[in-house]
Protein backbone atom coordinates (compact mmCIF):
# COMPACT_ATOMS: atom_id res chain seq x y z
CA UNK A 1 0.00 0.00 0.00
CA UNK A 2 1.42 3.39 -0.98
CA UNK A 3 1.82 6.56 0.98
CA UNK A 4 0.41 9.55 -0.88
CA UNK A 5 0.67 12.33 1.71
CA UNK A 6 4.46 12.55 1.99
CA UNK A 7 4.25 15.74 -0.07
CA UNK A 8 3.27 17.43 3.21
CA UNK A 9 6.80 16.67 4.40
CA UNK A 10 8.68 17.15 1.13
CA UNK A 11 7.10 20.35 -0.20
CA UNK A 12 7.77 22.59 2.86
CA UNK A 13 11.40 21.46 3.00
CA UNK A 14 11.88 22.14 -0.71
CA UNK A 15 10.22 25.56 -0.39
CA UNK A 16 12.40 26.42 2.61
CA UNK A 17 15.56 25.55 0.70
CA UNK A 18 14.45 27.73 -2.20
CA UNK A 19 13.46 30.64 0.07
CA UNK A 20 16.77 30.59 1.94
CA UNK A 21 18.75 30.59 -1.31
CA UNK A 22 20.32 27.16 -0.95
CA UNK A 23 22.68 26.33 -3.81
CA UNK A 24 21.89 23.59 -6.32
CA UNK A 25 24.24 21.03 -4.77
CA UNK A 26 22.66 21.51 -1.34
CA UNK A 27 19.10 21.24 -2.68
CA UNK A 28 19.95 18.14 -4.69
CA UNK A 29 21.67 16.40 -1.76
CA UNK A 30 19.19 17.32 0.98
CA UNK A 31 16.09 16.70 -1.10
CA UNK A 32 17.58 13.59 -2.68
CA UNK A 33 18.17 12.10 0.76
CA UNK A 34 14.65 13.10 1.79
CA UNK A 35 13.13 11.57 -1.35
CA UNK A 36 15.01 8.34 -0.68
CA UNK A 37 13.77 8.15 2.90
CA UNK A 38 10.20 8.95 1.91
CA UNK A 39 10.35 6.24 -0.75
CA UNK A 40 11.54 3.81 1.91
CA UNK A 41 8.31 4.71 3.70
CA UNK A 42 6.42 3.78 0.51
CA UNK A 43 5.93 7.28 -0.97
CA UNK A 44 4.34 6.56 -4.32
CA UNK A 45 3.16 10.01 -5.44
CA UNK A 46 6.50 11.80 -5.69
CA UNK A 47 5.66 12.76 -9.27
CA UNK A 48 2.96 15.08 -7.90
CA UNK A 49 5.55 17.02 -5.88
CA UNK A 50 7.90 16.94 -8.86
CA UNK A 51 5.26 18.76 -10.91
CA UNK A 52 5.23 21.58 -8.35
CA UNK A 53 8.99 22.15 -8.65
CA UNK A 54 9.62 21.81 -12.40
CA UNK A 55 11.10 25.31 -12.49
CA UNK A 56 14.04 24.25 -10.28
CA UNK A 57 16.57 22.02 -12.12
CA UNK A 58 18.27 20.90 -8.89
CA UNK A 59 15.00 19.60 -7.47
CA UNK A 60 14.09 17.92 -10.77
CA UNK A 61 17.54 16.28 -10.70
CA UNK A 62 17.01 15.09 -7.11
CA UNK A 63 13.83 13.34 -8.21
CA UNK A 64 15.54 11.87 -11.29
CA UNK A 65 18.33 10.53 -9.06
CA UNK A 66 15.61 8.45 -7.37
CA UNK A 67 13.88 7.44 -10.62
CA UNK A 68 10.90 9.75 -10.16
CA UNK A 69 9.72 11.20 -13.48
CA UNK A 70 6.55 12.53 -15.02
CA UNK A 71 4.74 9.98 -17.16
CA UNK A 72 5.83 11.72 -20.38
CA UNK A 73 9.43 12.31 -19.22
CA UNK A 74 9.04 16.04 -19.93
CA UNK A 75 10.72 16.71 -16.59
CA UNK A 76 14.01 15.27 -17.84
CA UNK A 77 14.71 18.28 -20.03
CA UNK A 78 14.76 20.44 -16.89
CA UNK A 79 17.47 18.54 -15.04
CA UNK A 80 20.82 20.12 -14.27
CA UNK A 81 23.32 19.76 -17.07
CA UNK A 82 20.91 18.51 -19.71
CA UNK A 83 21.79 20.02 -23.07
CA UNK A 84 19.67 20.44 -26.19
CA UNK A 85 20.77 17.13 -27.74
CA UNK A 86 19.96 15.23 -24.57
CA UNK A 87 16.53 16.90 -24.47
CA UNK A 88 15.73 15.43 -27.87
CA UNK A 89 16.79 11.97 -26.80
CA UNK A 90 14.82 12.18 -23.56
CA UNK A 91 11.67 13.24 -25.40
CA UNK A 92 11.39 9.96 -27.30
CA UNK A 93 8.20 8.93 -25.59
CA UNK A 94 4.74 8.17 -26.90
CA UNK A 95 3.18 11.01 -24.88
CA UNK A 96 5.47 13.68 -26.34
CA UNK A 97 3.48 15.86 -28.72
CA UNK A 98 4.58 16.88 -32.18
CA UNK A 99 4.63 20.50 -30.98
CA UNK A 100 6.99 19.64 -28.09
CA UNK A 101 9.32 17.77 -30.44
CA UNK A 102 9.29 20.63 -32.95
CA UNK A 103 10.20 23.09 -30.20
CA UNK A 104 13.04 20.84 -29.04
CA UNK A 105 14.38 20.43 -32.58
CA UNK A 106 14.24 24.21 -33.08
CA UNK A 107 16.08 24.76 -29.79
CA UNK A 108 18.76 22.26 -30.78
CA UNK A 109 19.19 23.86 -34.22
CA UNK A 110 19.51 27.26 -32.54
CA UNK A 111 22.09 25.83 -30.12
CA UNK A 112 24.16 24.45 -33.01
CA UNK A 113 23.92 27.71 -34.97
CA UNK A 114 25.08 29.68 -31.93
CA UNK A 115 28.07 27.36 -31.48
CA UNK A 116 28.96 27.75 -35.16
CA UNK A 117 28.64 31.55 -35.04
CA UNK A 118 30.73 31.78 -31.87
CA UNK A 119 33.60 29.84 -33.41
CA UNK A 120 33.38 30.95 -37.04
CA UNK A 121 34.48 34.50 -36.24
CA UNK A 122 37.73 33.14 -34.80
CA UNK A 123 38.92 31.11 -37.77
CA UNK A 124 39.52 31.93 -41.43
CA UNK A 125 39.56 28.50 -43.07
CA UNK A 126 39.23 27.19 -46.64
CA UNK A 127 35.74 25.93 -47.53
CA UNK A 128 36.56 22.22 -47.19
CA UNK A 129 37.98 22.81 -43.71
CA UNK A 130 34.93 24.86 -42.77
CA UNK A 131 32.64 21.99 -43.75
CA UNK A 132 34.68 19.52 -41.69
CA UNK A 133 34.79 21.97 -38.80
CA UNK A 134 30.97 22.42 -38.91
CA UNK A 135 30.47 18.65 -39.00
CA UNK A 136 32.65 18.31 -35.89
CA UNK A 137 30.59 20.95 -34.07
CA UNK A 138 27.37 19.10 -34.96
CA UNK A 139 28.77 15.62 -34.25
CA UNK A 140 31.82 15.88 -31.99
CA UNK A 141 32.28 12.09 -31.82
CA UNK A 142 32.22 10.83 -35.43
CA UNK A 143 32.16 7.09 -35.90
CA UNK A 144 30.71 6.48 -32.46
CA UNK A 145 27.87 3.99 -32.65
CA UNK A 146 24.45 5.39 -31.89
CA UNK A 147 21.58 3.65 -30.18
CA UNK A 148 19.01 5.68 -32.10
Instruction: Please provide the DSSP assignment of 49-114 as one string.
Output: HHHHTTT-HHHHHHHHHTT---TT-GGGGGSTT--HHHHHHHT-STT--HHHHHHHHHHHHHHHHH
Backbone φ/ψ region at 51: left (φ over 0), alpha (ψ -120 to 50), beta = alpha
Per-residue pLDDT, averaged over 82-110, amounts to 71
Per-residue pLDDT, averaged over 7-25, amounts to 95
Q: How confident is the model at residue 9 (pLDDT cuts 50, 70, 90)?
A: very high
Average pLDDT, the chain: 80
Q: How confident is the model at residue 113 (pLDDT cuts 50, 70, 90)?
A: confident
Q: Which residues contact 53 (CB under 8 A, 6 or more apart)?
A: 14, 59, 60
Q: Do 142 and 135 touch, CB atoms closer than 8 A? A: yes
Q: How confident is the model at residue 90 (pLDDT cuts 50, 70, 90)?
A: low
So where are the chain's domains? 1-82, 97-142
Choice between 20 and 89, residue whose per-residue pLDDT is larger: 20
Amino acid sequence: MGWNSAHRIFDPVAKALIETGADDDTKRKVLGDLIGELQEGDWDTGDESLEDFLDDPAIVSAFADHNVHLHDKSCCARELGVGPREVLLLMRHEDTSEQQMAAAVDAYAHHLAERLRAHSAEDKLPTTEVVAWCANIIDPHPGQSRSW
